[in-house]
Structures are given as C-alpha cells and as structure tokens.
Structure 1
Amino acid sequence: MKKILVVCILCLFSLSAAAQQSGCKINMSTAHKEIPYEVNEPVTFNISVIDDNNASIKEGIISYKVTQDLEKVLSSGQLNLNSDSLAITEKLNKPGFLNCEVSLTRNGQTTVIRGGAAIEPLKIKPGSQAPNDFDEFWSSQLNRLRKYPVKAFLTPVETKEPGVELFEVRIDCLDWMPVAGYFARPTDAKPQSHAAILLLHGAGAFSANKGGVEYCAKSGMLAMEINAHGIANGQPNDFYTDLGNGSLSMSRYPYAGSKNRETCYFLGMFLRLVRATDFLTSQPQWDQKRLITKGFSQGGCQAIVAAGLDPRVTMVAASAPAMCDHNDEVVGWPHFITPGPDGKPDAEISKTAGYFDVCNFAARTNARVMLSVGYVDSICRPTSVYAAYNCFKGDKQIINLPSSEHSSPQEVEDAYWKMINDYIKAN
C-alpha cells in the first residue's frame, strides 16, 4: 500500500508566523486548513502588529508584496495600521505557491515577515521530461565505473565514543576526485546485521565531520559521511576558505563544464555517490537490505540521486533538495539555466541539465522518502521541490514549512532521525 503523508510543522498547510523587534511584533497567518488551497481559491494573509504587552499598534504603515512562486509580483502596496482589517488576498490560476512579504519601519528599525501558501502542490509537474537516453547515459557511466573494483584506503582515527570504530576513508573514483570522508561502525558489529547510512553535504567547500557518523554507529549503523568534492578532510579552516573563494566557489563549480554532460562538474560528484554506496554495501557487516541516504540542499540532491542510481538505497531523507526542475520557470539551486543576451537559455546547457535534474532521479527509485520544503525558500524554491516530490513512486512524506526559508530546522531533523531510528529498530 502506498503511503502519502503530508506533514506540516505548526498546522497542516496553514501559516502562522511572527517577526519581532523590540517593542513591535508582526504576526501573519492564513486560514487553518488541513488540505492545500485550490487553484483560483482566494488566499487571505491576515496581519496584526502588537507591542510588548500584546496590545495592537494602530499607528504606522506596513508595506506588502505578494508573489507567485517567489518571482512574479502579483500585488503590492501599503496598509495603514489603523485600518479595520489588515488582510491581503490573492489567488493563483495554476498549482504553485503564493508568497507574502510584509515590512514595517518603526523607531528607525525595519521588521520583515514572510510566509507562503500552497496551491494544489501535489499537481505540480516537472517543466521537462528526462532526455530519451537518460538511462542509457547513466548506465554507461556506471558500467565504466564498475569495471574497476572499489579500492578503499582506511586510516584509523581516534574517537572518544565508546563502542565505536572510526576511520578516515578515501576511495579512488577513476578520472574524478576520490570519495573522501569518515566511516564508523560499532566495535561489536556482526556480519550481515547492520543498516548503512550515507551522510551528504550541501553546497560549498567543507571537511566531512566525525560527529554524525559516530552518532550513527552508536545507534547501530554502518555510517559514512563524505564531502561533496573529494577534497582532503580535517584541514585548517583556511584550506576550505581558500577553496571556497577559488575553484570551489559557489559561483564557479556548479557551472563548470555545463555545456556537455561528459564534462559537467556534477558528473564526478554523482559518481562518487555510487562509489560510496558500493563501499558501504561491500562491508561484511551490512545487512544486505537497508541503505539510507541523508542530506540538506545540495546534500538532499545527492541523497535522491544516489537512490536513483543505486536501487539498493531503501530510504532517503532530503531537506530542501537542490537541483530540482532545471528547465522550468521556477527552478532550484544552482539556477543552471539563465537567459543569454538574446533572452533565451543556452541550448547546450539546457540539454546537459536534463541529465542532472533531481526530478529524473526521483522517478527512478522505489526508496521510502521524506522531504522538507520551505514555502519562502528562495534558494531551493518550493515549486521545484514539489516537482521532484511528485515524481517519487514509493512511500513518501513531505514536511511543509509555510514560514521557512532555506534551512533544515530542528523539527525537521528530529522527524528524519525518528524515521531512521524507527526503521533500523523495526527490521
């Protein structure tokens, strides 16, 4: 039986948010709803402004702007706080998101609040289909990769966690940078008795961390965390700062080689995922049935891609996944497709993008999935996240965050770890 559970922190699909400065608090809410709004159904954002004693503030002007999918401005204006009603109403004529931004300047300080409403999000579809040879391309890449056995170099690392063995790991990956990260397992790990988990990084240049894999190993898992680029781990901060300001700048690496699928930067990143899952599943302690991937933003993208490329992945936890729906009007990070001088997107980049679109990997996994989406996330837009979510075929859940920008708040992390820990305890 397919389970489709839509979860909302606060209230299902309703917005309740607040922004505060000294002496002033702006509240924004929508009607309580247990289902999303329908196309052409009016959505009203109710605004109130109160002081520290919860008394209404009646002097001043608020400015507002309502957009479609955080892009197209539908309406804007000002409201006087002494008005009988501080309500802003709009509607959408297609599935997507309405977003409202309200600001108030008082005593020299400006307070801004943002919120959103979902309009039939389960009907959002990707803006383009997968390339006709998508499966052929990735099959050929995996075949090439797997002609060479996994060659892993493990170096023991001291850990203060009792009952945990920790290693730095490096795995060759043909022409690309190696898989580089940390691997941990319970010291008493028995053959074929442990689930495995792969933890993945968001955008930027960072070292893999030890804490996550130590926690997972203490919970009874084989755990690996890799950095996104195959760079050295555990280096001084300046090492990563220099990379982040240079070759691994977020304004550079996502677009490197993007005119050709064979040179696209993400080809190496995605193949490292398979090298990592090959390593985890080759461990004699792996239980042969449970393989989990988890990440935020670019890491969420990688978590889904790993599942799309490797059918052994059985569970995915992806917060605000990036790289969704590259060829649509409302795209996710890194906004691969940008208009050229003639106002049209580069045809070669548009073609390449299809091979690295999370929507196409989502459609190719049967893993159990939990995603999160922020309605005011301008980095990984909610429309793009839902386009990917709607491509999943198996059991799936999504945590809706009507007032959240680009983040994975504690409530979301708690939900992910509950799902993961329940999963490993139940099997």
Structure 2
Amino acid sequence: MSDSAFIPDELQRYVPEVAEPDDFDRFWRDTLAEAAARPVLVDVRPEPTDLRLLDSWDVTFAGFGGDPVRAWYTRPAGRPEPLPAVVEYAGYGRGRGLPHERLTWPVAGYAHLLMDNRGQAGQYGAGDTPDPHGAPGGPSPVTWGIHDPRDYHYRRLITDAVRAVEAVRALPGVDVDRVTVVGNSQGGGLALAVAGLVADLSAVLTTAPFLCDMRRAVQLSEPAPYGEIARYLAVQREAEESVWRTLSYVDGVNFARRATAPAHFGVGRRDTVCPPRTAFAAYNHYGAGNGRPVRPEREMHVYPFNGHEGGEAVHVRRQLRWLDSVLQP
C-alpha cells in the first residue's frame, strides 16, 4: 500500500543499481560478530524524572569495539508485564537529549530505548557518547574515516544500532519477540541498516531516510549531510574512488534488499536534505534480496508539499496506527 496518487511514475519505477561490494555480507558478519563477543549491558540505573506516568532508566551498553554507548530506556509506570519495544535512532548531529524529550512511544504503551549517537551531539541536540576512533577524513561525522570502510564512522554507528536491539532485549519488561526499530533522517537510515542485519524484527518505521542511494544523493542534495561529502570531495579531488567504495558498505539500499520485517516509509516530496528519489530507491528494493518470491509488507506515505519535516504529527499518527495493526496477534 502507498499514497500512489502523490507518487510520480518515475519514482514508483526507480530501482537503481546501487554498487554492492562482493564482501558486503562478510564485512558486516565479521563486524557484528566482534561486537557480539562482549556482554551487551554495561550499566542500567533508574533515572529520576518529573514524569509520574513513566519510568526511565539511564542505560549504557557495549557498542562497536566495546565502546560505552548511552541510551534512555522509558516505559509506562506500573506496567511490569513484558511490553513490545521500540528502539529509536536520532537524526544527524543529535544526541539522546533528556529522558522527557521523546515520549510518543512510551506514552503509546511501548517499552522505548532511545540510542545516543556517538560523537555527534552538540549540533542540534545534547548527548554524552564520544566516538574515540580517529582516521583520515573530513571534519564532519559523515566524512570521519571515509577513505576506508573499516575506519568509517557509520560502521561504528550501525554496529551500535544493532547492539541497541540486543540491549533492549536484555532489559527487564520487554517482549523480546516484538521489537521494532524507528527513525527519521539519519535515524531512518540506521533503522534500514538494522532491518538488513537483524532477521527477527517485528517492524521497521523509516522517514526521510539518510544513507540511501548515496552516490546519487550526493549529486542531488546541497545541504548537510550529503553536501558535506560533496564539499569534502571538492577539496580531496583524488579521493572519489575510495569514498564511493566506503559508502557502498553503508548504503541503505543494500540493507533494504536484505530486510524481512514489515516496513512503513514516509517522505516529503520537496525534501532537499534527503531527496525522495533516494528513499524510493530503498523502498522499491525493500525485501527483494536473494530472489525472494514473497516480499514483506511495506507501504510508503508521501507528503507532496513538505520537505525534510515530512508529515510530522500526521505521519506519527499513521505510524502509531500501522504499528498497532502489525503487532496485533
């Protein structure tokens, strides 16, 4: 199902051939196996808040390289039974903030884990997870370590995102068989990556996803984050080949092909940050990997007069209703 009346035929038919490295699966299998060798939960402690209807915990889990990654775990107060869980990923330049900043999912009755973005906080929101790994690259997160996929910032951030799912399943009061991932922009790109790397998710909700059809996106988009890659290449003119190779290991289209969970997409038709064409690249490829005869349920919602903000509250209401229908027995 999709808002087909608002979707030009060219977007409905847009199925680009995105470069995929021959060792893509091995690269991620080895990366995640190294992370999984460590216990996932490092520290869980109650977080005092002024919210009488919710309980919150300050969670630290072991992400890429065993690095400590911070998260908020929040759930309805007085509900000790196992609840379906939503793992949320934040946008570019944002951190986890304070525990009362994102309440939609716990107020809706879910156990909610909000992951901090390593090294990114301070541009748009607060966080407290550093990224201690340095490598040659540019000054912004999207260009940190961009010359080599093993050094790239998004190898670490995607690994953290997968470990966040493992962390929520290790927390008390979670129905481990009903875990959903959700995010907007960079968070939407992380949700797609996790969908391609974790086989037993209940659902995926991604809005205006970053990290999709990246070579085309860098050509189309002037603002950050894609514009930061273009500006880096404008100076590092001989780095183009290594940059495209690195980005192919984190492209959301390659993850989307491998996904098996039902998916809910949303885009603003006038989005210049994460162009809608690139989201459709992931949507049209979603679940089609390995010649799969039956693809997972997926739907796309398009907001023809909106940009990167998308459908905002209207879209969130659609997400809530859709997820409730997916999780019903």
Verify same fold: TM over 0.5.
Answer: yes
Residue equivalent to 1:204 = 93
Question: What is the CA–CA distance in structure 2 between the aligned matches of 1:177 and 1:208, rounded to whole Å?
Answer: 19
Cα distance, 1:156 vs structure 2: 1.0
Cα distance, 1:260 vs structure 2: 0.3
Indicate if the aligned counterparts of 2:193 and 2:256 stay in contact, CA closer than 8 A. Answer: yes
Which residue identity lines up with residue 143 of structure 2 in the other structure?
Answer: Y
Of 245, 258, 276, 1:351 maps to: 245
Question: What is the CA–CA distance in structure 2 between the aligned matches of 1:147 and 1:422, rounded to whole Å?
Answer: 36
Higher-helix-fraction structure: 2
Question: What is the CA–CA distance in structure 1 between the aligned matches of 2:168 and 2:126, rounded to whole Å?
Answer: 28
**Alignment pair present for 1:399 and 2:289:** no
Cα distance, 1:214 vs structure 2: 4.7
Which residue identity lines up with residue 293 of structure 1 in the other structure?
Answer: V
Residue equivalent to 1:322 = 210
**CA offset digits 1:137-185 (Å, max 9, x no partner):** 0000011011111133112112343453211111122536432121023
Say which SS state the counterpart of residue 226 (structure 2) adopts.
Answer: coil
Question: What is the CA–CA distance in structure 2 between the aligned matches of 1:310 and 1:134, rounded to whole Å?
Answer: 15
Which residue identity lines up with residue 134 of structure 1 in the other structure?
Answer: F
Question: What is the CA–CA distance in structure 1 between the aligned matches of 2:139 and 2:206, rounded to whole Å?
Answer: 23
Cα distance, 1:132 vs structure 2: 1.1
Residue equivalent to 2:145 = 257
Instruction: Give the count of matched residue pairs.
Output: 305
**Alignment pair present for 1:6 and 2:2:** yes
Of 195, 199, 206, 2:84 maps to: 195
**Alignment pair present for 1:167 and 2:49:** no
Greater radius of gyration (CA): 1
TM-score normalised over the length of structure 2:
0.82
Indicate if the aligned counterparts of 1:183 and 1:213 stay in contact, CA closer than 8 A. Answer: no
Change in 2 beyond 3 A, CA 1:289/1:169: same
Of 296, 321, 324, 1:421 maps to: 324
**Alignment pair present for 1:219 and 2:108:** yes
Indicate if the aligned counterparts of 1:177 and 1:231 stay in contact, CA closer than 8 A. Answer: no
Question: What is the CA–CA distance in structure 2 between the aligned matches of 1:135 and 1:176, rounded to whole Å?
Answer: 21
Cα distance, 1:187 vs structure 2: 4.1
**Alignment pair present for 1:157 and 2:47:** yes
Higher-strand-fraction structure: 1
Question: What is the CA–CA distance in structure 2 between the aligned matches of 1:306 and 1:238, rounded to whole Å?
Answer: 23
Indicate if the aligned counterparts of 1:369 and 1:397 stay in contact, CA closer than 8 A. Answer: yes
Cα distance, 1:313 vs structure 2: 1.9
Of 35, 54, 63, 1:145 maps to: 35
Identity %: 22
Indicate if the aligned counterparts of 1:372 and 1:412 stay in contact, CA closer than 8 A. Answer: yes
Indicate if the aligned counterparts of 1:319 and 1:373 stay in contact, CA closer than 8 A. Answer: yes
Residue equivalent to 2:262 = 368
**Alignment pair present for 1:292 and 2:194:** no
Question: What is the CA–CA distance in structure 1 between the aligned matches of 2:101 and 2:175, rounded to whole Å?
Answer: 20
Indicate if the aligned counterparts of 1:182 and 1:213 stay in contact, CA closer than 8 A. Answer: no
Change in 2 beyond 3 A, CA 1:239/1:145: closer
Question: What is the CA–CA distance in structure 1 between the aligned matches of 2:88 and 2:323, rounded to whole Å?
Answer: 12
* Larger mean Cα displacement after TM superposition, 253-262 or 321-330: 321-330
Cα distance, 1:122 vs structure 2: 2.1
Cα distance, 1:344 vs structure 2: 7.8
Indicate if the aligned counterparts of 1:164 and 1:184 stay in contact, CA closer than 8 A. Answer: yes
**CA offset digits 1:16-47 (Å, max 9, x no partner):** xxxxxxxxxxxxxxxxxxxx5xxxxxxxxxxx
Question: What is the CA–CA distance in structure 2 between the aligned matches of 1:294 and 1:365, rounded to whole Å?
Answer: 14
Question: What is the CA–CA distance in structure 1 between the aligned matches of 2:68 and 2:228, rounded to whole Å?
Answer: 25
**Alignment pair present for 1:334 and 2:226:** yes
Say which SS state the counterpart of residue 277 (structure 2) adopts.
Answer: helix
Question: What is the CA–CA distance in structure 2 between the aligned matches of 1:254 and 1:202, rounded to whole Å?
Answer: 12
Indicate if the aligned counterparts of 2:269 and 2:304 stay in contact, CA closer than 8 A. Answer: yes
Which residue identity lines up with residue 413 of structure 1 in the other structure?
Answer: V
**CA offset digits 1:380-400 (Å, max 9, x no partner):** 011111111111121111111
Say which SS state the counterpart of residue 249 (structure 2) adopts.
Answer: helix
Change in 2 beyond 3 A, CA 1:348/1:410: same
Indicate if the aligned counterparts of 2:38 and 2:66 stay in contact, CA closer than 8 A. Answer: no
Question: What is the CA–CA distance in structure 1 between the aligned matches of 2:236 and 2:262, rounded to whole Å?
Answer: 43
Residue equivalent to 1:312 = 200
Say which SS state the counterpart of residue 225 (structure 1) adopts.
Answer: strand
Q: Which runs of 4+ in 1 moved over 6 A?
A: 237-240, 341-345
TM-score normalised over the length of structure 1:
0.64
Cα distance, 1:369 vs structure 2: 0.8
**CA offset digits 1:315-334 (Å, max 9, x no partner):** 11111001111233755642
Of 311, 314, 325, 1:411 maps to: 314
Cα distance, 1:218 vs structure 2: 3.9
What CA RMSD, in Å, does the superposition of the two structures yield over aligned residues?
A: 3.0
Indicate if the aligned counterparts of 1:326 and 1:335 stay in contact, CA closer than 8 A. Answer: no
Indicate if the aligned counterparts of 2:96 and 2:125 stay in contact, CA closer than 8 A. Answer: no
Change in 2 beyond 3 A, CA 1:288/1:172: closer
Question: What is the CA–CA distance in structure 1 between the aligned matches of 2:125 and 2:97, rounded to whole Å?
Answer: 15
**CA offset digits 1:249-274 (Å, max 9, x no partner):** x9611101001011101111111111
Which residue identity lines up with residue 417 of structure 1 in the other structure?
Answer: L
